[in-house]
Amino acid sequence: MRHVEPVVSLIAKPQIDWEAIDAYLDEVGGRSWSDRVQNAPSPDAEDLLEFSGRMCYRSWEPGLNPNVSRVRTDSAAYLGNVIGSQHGSVLEHANFTFILHNVSRVLTHELIRHRAGCAYSQESLRYVRLDEVPFWFPEWAREDEELMERSLKVLETLEEHQKWMAEHFKLDEEGTNFAHKKHMTSFMRRFAPEGLGTGIVYTANLRSLRHVVEMRTAPGAEEEIRLVFDKIGRIMQQEAPAIFADYTVEDGAWLPGTRKA
């Protein structure tokens, strides 16, 4: 048994093709918006949201839409208004992809309930054979000596059983075909605890991320998922500060100034 800590890594985020946007704006008008935003320090994710929101009203600059005589030129203020007016569909254009490493299947079973605006690719224990049982214990559990002693014995027994089954089924003998390995590995996973550390690739758009950060850091949420989404929330404050500017954090709970649209 190996003690592990949940790790969150951001591995992909939006990148704008400014040449394509400029070509479009040269045709319909609004190139001044592009020139201004490209010279600003705002991340591409936020620029993409602003572009998409301005598409709705053709509000890249005054005069393009006769009904719009004045436009906001401060991008953070513009996006703050998008959040405040609950124009949530605009937030769906920007996707972020994370690796959640050393998280339990307790967490992933809860996480995949959030389907709208999300995509998942999880390590499959039908194919991935276990030779150890990585496991996360919360701090309060690590401080309980009797609990830890008993729990570690259980995990060591399960780990040893995985190794025994691999030998018993002759999985490493030369000539053993993959179909047999897959069949036996699928059976062996039934003896893996739900708290086993695993990995999942998680992609979500900003609308979904705001919702899940709020839901899964709430006081009643399971403690591991609270830990993970606190990490995600802190990453997103760096990656899309204008979109997460309305949050306050109280005792680990992320509270938005404006509820999800």
Q: Catalytic residue numbers?
A: 216
In contact, 242 and 80? CB cutoff 8 Å: yes
In contact, 254 and 230? CB cutoff 8 Å: yes
The angle, 0 to 180 degrees and rounded to 10, between the axes of the packed helices 31-38 and 18-28 is 150
Short-list 160, 164, 218, 158, CA closest to 190: 158
Specify the DSSP class assigned to residue 191. G
Q: Give me 15's structure tokens.
A: 């990148």
Give the C-alpha distances (Å, rounded to integers) separating 202 from 10, 115, 176, 229: 9, 11, 34, 12
